[in-house]
Every structure is written in structure tokens, then in C-alpha cells.
Amino acid sequence: MARLILASGSPRRAELLEQLEIDFDIFSADIDETLKLGESAETYVKRVAYEKARSVAQQFHDRIVLAADTCISLDGSIIGKPQSRVHAFEIWQALSGREHDVLSGICVIAENEVHECVVKTQVTFQQLSQSDMESYWQTGEPVGKAGAYAIQGIAAKYIPTIKGSYTNVVGLPLHETVKLLKAVKALN
């Protein structure tokens, strides 16, 4: 059994964490991720990451728990996963030709220590045509993705610039994750 638990069912987070070449187990946290009234994107991802980590840490007291939560924010509003084709097109029309923020809250709990941070990356989408949106929807990639896109996939061709951490946009900012894991001696 590994000392570290990733409190996430996200395959992307697991793939990113594997890049650090450390052993870890996966145990998904079952928490309510509902946005609270008046909650900012930054506060939301920090709270949800903490609640995921705390939930799993309460079950595994002798382990180090890493949790993260990522969201997309445009003009202060959180953009979620598309509920339908129509909803995906509405999201892309809002993001099209504009810059938006991708925020990730990261939390590491080891015994009674809590280490956390929020990472922000700015992503620019090109102006999307109706044809771009139709063809991207047909790939199936946008389904189940916050902001209706995956930067590590086909959507990369629509993104001319990012300012900040690429791995943050994928779902787990590795540089900051390493810092938090070093703080609890999970990494040298």
C-alpha cells in the first residue's frame, strides 16, 4: 500500500501524478460539490479540494492524501460541464475569441497538517466558427469536460495562448503539487 492517496476519480489527474514517478493509491471522495451562493471560483476550488482531502483523510489516518478540484471561470462565473450539445455551443460562444481562467485548488493532508493552494492559468480561445464547433462536438471529446474542452486533446488546435501552468488546465498543476508533497515529506 502506497503512503499517498489521490482523492480523485479523474483519469487525467492520475496520469499527471504518474509523471512524478511516485506510488499512490486512488480513492475517490464522495462529497457535495455544489457551488455555494456568492462563492467565487477561487474559494470554490479551494473548498472542494479541501473537503475531498478531508473526507478521504478521515478514512485513512496514517496516509498522505492529495486532492484537487478544477474549474473554469469567465467574467467571474464558473463554467461547468456541458449538459447537452446546445449547452456546449453556448459555452464555446462565450469563450470564443476571449481569455478565461482555469483555477485549481490543491490540498494535501498528512496527519494534522493541511497544505493547500490555488493555481490560476489564463487560456485564450480563438474565434470559433459554427463549423469549428460542429466538428469539435462530433469528436465526443467535449462531453464531461469543464468548459466543454480538453486542452490535452483536439481542443489544443483552438487555443493560441496560455499564461501559466499547462498541467493546471489538464487538471493537476504538477509544480505546485510537488511543493505541497515536499512540505509533508511525501517527496524529497
Distance CA 91, CA 40 (A): 19
Give the DSSP H/E element, type plus range, for residue 120.
strand 113-124
**Known catalytic residue at 69:** yes
What's residue 1's pLDDT?
Answer: 58
- Could you give the CA distance from residue 151 to residue 86 in angstroms, rounded to a whole number? 21
pLDDT tens readout for residues 137-168: 999 999 999 999 999 999 999 999 999 999 99
C-alpha cell at 89: 455551443
For the chain, list residues with pLDDT below 70: 1-2, 188
Q: Which of the following is catalytic: 69, 75, 101, 132?
A: 69
pTM for this one?
0.93
Mean pLDDT, the chain, whole residue set: 95
Q: Which domains does the chain have, with CATH numbers?
A: 4-183 (3.90.950.10)
* Residue partners of 29: CB distance under 8 A and separation at least 6: 7, 8, 51, 52, 53, 55, 56, 67
In the chain, count of helices (H) and strands (E)? 6, 7
Q: What pLDDT does 106 receive? A: 98
pLDDT of the residue at 111: 87
DSSP string, 30-78: ----PPPTT--HHHHHHHHHHHHHHHHHTT-TTSEEEEEEEEEEETTEE
User: Which of 63, 143, 70, 145 minimizes the C-alpha distance to 101?
Assistant: 70
Cα–Cα distance for residue pair 95/112, rounded to 1 Å? 41
> Any idea which residue has 498543476 for its cell?
173
Do 50 and 105 meet the contact criterion of CB atoms below 8 Å apart?
yes
Residues 100, 75: Cα–Cα separation, whole Å: 8
